[in-house]
Structure 1
Amino acid sequence: MTRYARQTAVLGPDAQQRLAESRVLVIGAGGLAVPVLQYLVGAGVGYVRLVDADVVSLSNLHRQTLFREADIGQPKTEVAARSLAALNSDVDFETVVMRLDPSNIGTLCNGVDLLLDCADSFAVSYMASDHCLETEQPLISASIVGSEGYVGGFCGGKPGLRAVFPGLPEQLGSCDSDGVLGPSVGVIGSLQAQMAIALLVGDRTPLGKLVTYDARALRFGGFRFDNAHDPAPNPAFIAPCEIIADDFLVDLRTRDETGPPLPEAIRSSVAAFGPDGPTPKHHKRAVLACRSGLRAWQAAERLSQHWQGEIKLLALGD
C-alpha cells in the first residue's frame, strides 16, 4: 500500500480496491489521453482498453508528452501502453488500433465500467454518448480547441451530450486546424482524470456536470444539467459498413480530400441542399458523408427542412 498511501488518505480505505477492480475504455490516445492515462494508471486502475487508429507524428509531441521523437510513425496505442506499463506493472492493458464507429462501439464498450472520450472528434463524442445512453454506462467526455475547452460527465443515469449540445456551430474547430497549447490540453485532461477517479470509487457527483475552461483568461466555469431534455439521436451516425444499396448516398467531400472512397455516392455540397437541391425519393434513406461529420450534419439540417425521411451521417476520417 506504500504506492497508494497518499491517495487513500484522501479517498478512503476502500477506494484502492475499487480502483483495482475497475475497467475503463479510453477513446483516443492523443493530448487529452496523456494526463488521463498517466493519472489513472498511476492511481492503480486495474484494466485499460485503449483505442486509436492514429500514429505518433512530430506535430503531436508538444502536447502528447507520453511520446518521444523515436516513436514517430508508430501506433499511439502501442507506444502509450509500453510507456504506461513501466509506470505501473499492476495495470492490464488492451490496445486496439482502429477507428471507433457505430459498428464496433458495442464490442469496444463491452465489460467496462466507464468510458473516457479523449478523441479529437465531435462525431466520436456523439457516437459514444448515444451508445452510453442506451447501455447506461457513464461517459466522461472532453474537448479543447485553441484556448477554450470543457469536460463533462454524461449518461450513466444522467442526460447525454445532445442535452447540452443539441446542435452544431457553423464552424467547428479542431486541434489540427485551430491549434492548441499543451498546458491547456493538460488542464482539461487532468479534470477528466479527476472526474473518472471520483466515479470509479463511487462518487456520482461528476455525472450531470459540465466544467468549462478558458486558458487565455485563466478562468473556470460550468453548470449542472441533471434535468436537461435529452433529444433523440437524430440525425445519428452510422459506420461505412452499414451503408445499403438502396441508400441515397451523398459525398460532401471535395475531390482532392483524402479518405475512404465512396464510389456509389453522388457528389454535392452543403450549399446545394435546399428545396431545389438533392432530395431522396420518399422510400429511401439519406446518408450524408464527409470527413469529420460537420458538413454532413449541416446538410442534414438543410435537407430536413423540406424532406421528412430518415437521415444518417457518416464521418469518414482521413
Structure 2
Amino acid sequence: MSRYARQMALPEVGPAGQDRLGQSHVLVIGAGGLGAPVLQYLAGAGVGTITLLDPDVIEESNLHRQPLFSMADLGRAKVTVAGEQLLAANPELMLHLHRLALTAENVAQLLEPVDLVVDAADSFATSYILSDACLDLGLPLISASVLGQRGYVGGFCGGAPSLRALFPELPDSAASCASAGVMGPVVGVIGSLQAQLALKTLLQHSPSPLGRLMQIEMADLTLSSFCFEGAPEPGQPLRFTAPALIGPQDQVIDLRPVEEAPKPATANARRILPEDVTSARLSPDHPVVLCCRSGVRAWRVARDLQAQDFDRIEILALGTRGDSA
C-alpha cells in the first residue's frame, strides 16, 4: 500500500476509504482536456475500475490541453493511448475502453455496473442524456463545462437535483472550444476539480459535492460556489434521442441547411430551416424529432412547438468529431 501512503495518511481516507476506492467503478465520458486529469487522478488515487468512452482520434490541435498525448500519438484513438498511459502508471487498474460516443441508446447499459459517472465530454447532448439516466438510477454525476477562460464543475443526481434543475434551458449560443477557443490550464484546473469531487463523493465525505456547483473565471481570477439542493426538476423536459430509437411514425425534421449537412439525418427526414418549422404542416398527433449539430437550434424550435401544443418532441444532436474539451 506504499503507493497510496500519502493519501491514506489523511484521517478522512485511511485504510477503509482506500478500500472503498479500490472497490469503486467509475464511468468517464471523454478523454480530452477535462478527461486527462480526471483519468490520471482517479487512477492514481486507486479507483479500482474505470470505464472510458471516447470516439475520437488524437489531433495536433488537442495537444495544448490534453497532456495524455504527444506528437507520436497523432491519428491514434484517444481511448487506446489513454489506456496505455494509465496502465503504465498503475498496472493494478481494471480498465474498460470503448471507442464510441455516449448516446440515448447505449447509456442505460453503460451505467448499469458503475458507482459514479464523470461527464468530461463538454457536450450539451451528452450532459443531458447522462443527467436524465443518472437521475432515474440514483447515480451521482460529476459534470463540468469549460470555454475560453471560464468554466464550472458540479455534483448532480445521486439524491441531489439533476443538471436540468440547475440548467433548465440550453444557452443561446452553441459555442465550443473549437469555435470560441480555450486556455489549456483552465481545462486542467476544472478537470482536476472534477477528479477531486468524484473522489469526495466515492469516499462519502461531508459536505457532499452533490448539489453544489463551483465556477471559475480566470480572466478576472475569481472562484465562487453555491448550493442548489432543493432545486425543482423542470416540467416538459426536452429529451435527446438516438437514430436507432426513432420510430416509423416519428416526424423527423433536419434543421441544418444543405451546405452544413449534404446528407439528411435519416432517410425519412424532412429538411426544414428553423425559421420555417412552426409554419410547416406537422401533426401534433405524432412525435416530432428535431435534428441539428449540438441541439441548440432544435431546443429553440422545440420550445416554439410546445407553445403550439406539441407535447411529444425529442432532439437528435448529430455532433461533430472533436466535441470533447
TM-score class, shorter-chain normalisation, is over 0.9
Matches of 1:120 and 1:159, distance apart in 2 = 19
- What's the CA shift string for 1:69-100, capped at 9, x where partnerless? 11111111111011110010110110011111
- In the other structure, the counterpart of 1:290 is 292
- In the other structure, the counterpart of 1:270 is 274
Report deviation, 1:282: 2.8
Q: Is the 8 A contact 1:284 1:309 kept in 2?
A: no
Report deviation, 1:64: 0.6
Structure 1: give runs of 5+ residues left out of the alignment: none
- In the other structure, the counterpart of 2:16 is 14
| Cα distance change, pair 95–288 in 1 and its aligned pair in 2 (3 A) | same
- In the other structure, the counterpart of 1:116 is 118
- What's the CA shift string for 1:99-137, capped at 9, x where partnerless? 111110011112100000000201100000000010000
Report the number of matched residues. 316
- In the other structure, the counterpart of 1:257 is 260
**Is the counterpart of residue 304 in structure 1 residue 309 in structure 2?**
no
Matches of 1:243 and 1:153, distance apart in 2 = 31
Report deviation, 1:176: 0.9
The SS at the match of 1:14 is helix
Report deviation, 1:232: 4.2
- In the other structure, the counterpart of 2:28 is 26
| Cα distance change, pair 78–211 in 1 and its aligned pair in 2 (3 A) | same
Q: Is the 8 A contact 1:21 1:45 kept in 2?
A: yes
Match of 1:203 among 197, 202, 205: 205
Q: Is the 8 A contact 1:279 1:303 kept in 2?
A: no
Structure 2: give runs of 5+ residues left out of the alignment: 321-325
What is the CA RMSD across the aligned residues, in angstroms? 1.4
TM-score (norm 1): 0.96
Matches of 1:304 and 1:261, distance apart in 2 = 22
**Is the counterpart of residue 5 in structure 1 residue 9 in structure 2?**
no
Matches of 1:270 and 1:298, distance apart in 2 = 9
Matches of 2:40 and 2:280, distance apart in 1 = 48
Give structure 1 regions of 4+ aligned residues with deviation exceeding 4 angstroms: none
Q: Is the 8 A contact 1:130 1:233 kept in 2?
A: no
- What's the CA shift string for 1:139-175, capped at 9, x where partnerless? 0000001111000000001100001000122113211
- What's the CA shift string for 1:16-73, capped at 9, x where partnerless? 1111111000011111000000000111110000001111111100001101111111
**Bigger RCO of structures 1 and 2 (CA < 8 A, at least 6 apart):** 2
The SS at the match of 1:173 is coil
Matches of 1:136 and 1:172, distance apart in 2 = 29
The SS at the match of 1:245 is coil
- In the other structure, the counterpart of 2:186 is 184
- In the other structure, the counterpart of 1:241 is 244
| Cα distance change, pair 52–232 in 1 and its aligned pair in 2 (3 A) | farther
- What's the CA shift string for 1:220-266, capped at 9, x where partnerless? 11210110001246211111101112111100112133577423111
| Cα distance change, pair 133–232 in 1 and its aligned pair in 2 (3 A) | farther
| Cα distance change, pair 233–191 in 1 and its aligned pair in 2 (3 A) | farther
The SS at the match of 1:94 is strand
Matches of 2:267 and 2:243, distance apart in 1 = 12
Matches of 2:197 and 2:264, distance apart in 1 = 36
Q: Is the 8 A contact 1:279 1:307 kept in 2?
A: no
Matches of 1:308 and 1:316, distance apart in 2 = 22
- In the other structure, the counterpart of 1:220 is 223
1:228 maps to a residue whose letter is A
1:298 maps to a residue whose letter is R
**What does residue range 135-154 of structure 1 map to in structure 2 within 5 Å?**
135-154=137-156
Matches of 1:133 and 1:145, distance apart in 2 = 26
Identity of matched residues, %: 48
Matches of 2:226 and 2:182, distance apart in 1 = 24
TM-score (norm 2): 0.94
2:226 maps to a residue whose letter is F
**Is the counterpart of residue 45 in structure 1 residue 39 in structure 2?**
no
**What does residue range 70-89 of structure 1 map to in structure 2 within 5 Å?**
70-89=72-91
Q: Is the 8 A contact 2:171 2:296 kept in 1?
A: no
The SS at the match of 1:3 is helix
- In the other structure, the counterpart of 2:162 is 160
